[in-house]
Amino acid sequence: MKKNLFGFGLAAILSAGLLVGCGGADDSTDEGADNGQASEESVTLTMGTSADYPPFEYIDTASGDEIIGFDIDIADHIAAELGFEYTIEDMEFNGLVEAVRTNRVDFVIAGMTPDDDRRENVDFSDIYYEGQQMIVTLNDSGFESIEDLDGKKVGVQLGSIQEAEAESIEGAIVEQRDTIPQLIQELRNGQIDAVVLEDTVANRYFERQDVLTGFMMPVSEEAGYAIAFPKESELTEQFNEVIAEMKEDGTLDELILKWFGADEE
C-alpha cells in the first residue's frame, strides 16, 4: 500500500526547509486545506551518492549520463511507496557523511556501511543489503573452505564487487569474465575451479543445476549497507518500514537478481 509522507508527521521537516514543495498553489485557494486535508503538493528530497560504485550506483556512459544501479532502484521504490520525488547530488564518497550531517542532503544511499565512526555523525536505516558472498563449486570438487582455493582458479564477473572478494582469497588465481552464465559454464567444463557469487544469485543456480554446491565466504563484523540520515531525522523510521516490506515481499531479492546476476542459465 502506498504511504503518504505528510501522514507520517513530516510537517516539522517541511517547516525546517528540508523538503521543497513543488505544487505552487496559493494557500488562499487551496480547497483541500479548507476541508482539513493534506496538500497534494509534490515533496522533493535531495539524495546524496557517489556514482562510481557499480552495480550499486554508476553512470553507464554508453547509454547517457543517467545514474543507475541497485541503490538507485531501491531509492526509486522507497520514493514511490512514500510518495516523494528526489534529486541526486553526486559527490565524492568521503564527503557524503558531512553532507548529511550538515543537511546539504536529506539522505545518502551509496553502498555505505554503518560503522561506529559514521554513527557518531549520522543516523542509519536498517541494513538493506547484507553483501554475503558464496563460493560456488562442483559437487565433487572437495572444496569446503577458502583455504582449499590456494592456487586454484576463482572466477568473478568483470567489474563486480565479487572481484575484491576473490582477490582477498590467499593464493587464488582470479579469472574475470563478462557474464555469470559464462562463469558457470566454464566451472562446469573444468576451466575454472570456483566462482564467487552473491548468495541470492548462487541459490538461484543451485535450484536449477544440481551439479553445483557452495559455501559462504567469511564476512567482516562491519558488513552490510544502510541509508544515512541527519541525526533524529523523521525519515529514518519511514524508510525502515519500506525496507522491511521489501524484504518481506521479495522486492529486494528481485533487485539483487537484477543487478548481481543474470536471470538465465
Sheet holding 194-198, edge to edge: 173-177, 153-157, 194-198, 133-138, 212-216
Q: Domain residues of the chain, as ranges?
A: 5-129+222-260, 133-216
Residue 234: per-residue pLDDT: 95
In CATH, what number does 5-129+222-260 get?
3.40.190.10
Report which DSSP code applies to 215.
E
* Confidence at residue 5, expressed as pLDDT on a 0 to 100 scale: 59
Burial classification of residue 81, based on how many CB atoms lie within 10 Å of its CB (0-12 exposed, 13-18 middle, 19 or more buried): buried
> What are the tens digits of pLDDT across the range 163-207?
888 999 999 999 999 888 899 999 999 999 999 998 888 888 998
- Residue of 132 and 20 predicted with greater confidence: 132
Residue tagged 563460493 (cell numbers): 135
Q: What digits encode the pLDDT tens for the residues 204-248?
A: 899 889 999 999 998 755 568 999 999 999 999 999 999 999 999
CATH topology of domain 133-216: D-Maltodextrin-Binding Protein; domain 2 (3.40.190)
Which pLDDT score is estimated for 120? 96
Give ∠ CA 96-16-87 in degrees, rounded to 5. Answer: 45
Least Cα distance to 96 among 59, 66, 51 occurs for 51
